[in-house]
């Protein structure tokens, strides 16, 4: 199988995990992939990371020496014809390395809808206007609605470089180093902020930026920093109810001094 047999240097599903998440037929053969168009083999649109991994995989195909006349010789994925229950167990459990930021997110005190939204944001799968372009959806305007900079609405712009979002972050004393990769931005900001409620604040702030954006687009609402602050504080009140006591107490004290 293309993705789950070790015919190359390691498993392709582990080498290109983002691309594998878009695969239509995870148990396909190599010849299936070679014969099919991208739209048949994958769910579109691909994320930027998946697109880069697709190019790397195609380069791997071009560099690989194919012998159509040779016979297949089957062996277990760990390189032996002898079965081992311990090796099979480790294989089934999986050993893919993921960012600890995802565990950090899921264990926060936020509401479930906040966490799922933030997961989509980290995975670059939010339906921003940039995503709609990648889905070949036509809009009259693909620019950010929260600012007047005439900048295309991407996740990166909407939640970090947009002037309105920047004002929101400044109001809660969180700053981003936009020269870093998104996950590294979060790590650095977390260290700089220096409080255990950083993740609850960040996830809630992103959620309220998103709902503010949706209000402008779908309901024609006006937006301002003061309106955002009120909505943020209201949403944080729901987070306080759900949070564990040690987080709730810090949130209460923080909200008391939040303007």
Question: What DSSP string describes the chain?
Answer: -TTTS-SBSB-HHHHSHHHHTTBS-TT--HHHHHHS-HHHHBPSSPPHHHHHHHHHHHHHHHHSPP-TTSPP----TTS-SS--HHHHHHHHH------HHHHHHHTSSS-HHHHHHHHHHHTT-S--HHHHHHTT---S--B-SS-SS--B--HHIIIIISHHHHHHHHHTT----TTS-HHHHHHHHHHHH--TTHHHHHHHHHHHHHHHHHHHHHH-----HHHHHHHHHHHHHHHHHHS-HHHHHHHHHHHHH--
- Looking at residue 183, its pLDDT comes to 83
pLDDT under 50: residue ranges of the chain: none
Q: Model's pTM, two decimal places?
A: 0.69
- Looking at residue 27, its pLDDT comes to 87
- Looking at residue 181, its pLDDT comes to 86
């Amino acid at each position: 199988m293309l993705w789950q047999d070790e015919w190359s240097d390691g498993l392709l599903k582990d080498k290109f995990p983002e691309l594998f998440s878009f695969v239509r037929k995870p148990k396909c053969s190599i010849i299936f992939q070679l014969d099919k168009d991208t739209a048949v083999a994958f769910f579109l649109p691909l994320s930027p990371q998946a697109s880069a991994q697709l190019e790397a995989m195609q380069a791997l195909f071009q560099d690989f020496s194919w012998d159509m006349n040779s016979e297949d010789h089957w062996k277990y994925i760990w390189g032996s014809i002898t079965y081992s229950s311990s090796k099979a167990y480790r294989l089934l459990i999986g050993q893919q390395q993921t960012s600890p930021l995802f565990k950090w997110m899921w264990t926060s005190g936020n509401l479930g809808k906040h966490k799922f939204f933030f997961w989509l944001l980290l995975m670059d799968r939010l339906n921003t206007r940039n995503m709609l372009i990648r889905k070949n959806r036509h809009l009259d305007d693909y620019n950010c609605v929260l600012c007047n900079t005439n900048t295309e609405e991407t996740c990166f712009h909407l939640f970090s470089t947009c002037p309105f979002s920047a004002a929101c972050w400044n109001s809660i004393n969180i700053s981003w180093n936009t020269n870093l990769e998104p996950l590294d931005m979060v790590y650095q900001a977390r260290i700089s902020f220096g409080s255990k409620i950083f993740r609850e604040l960040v996830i809630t702030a992103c959620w309220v930026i998103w709902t503010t954006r949706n209000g402008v687009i779908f309901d024609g609402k006006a937006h301002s920093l003061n309106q955002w602050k009120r909505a943020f504080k209201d949403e944080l009140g729901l987070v306080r109810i759900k949070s564990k006591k040690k987080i709730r107490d810090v949130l209460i004290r923080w909200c008391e001094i939040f303007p």
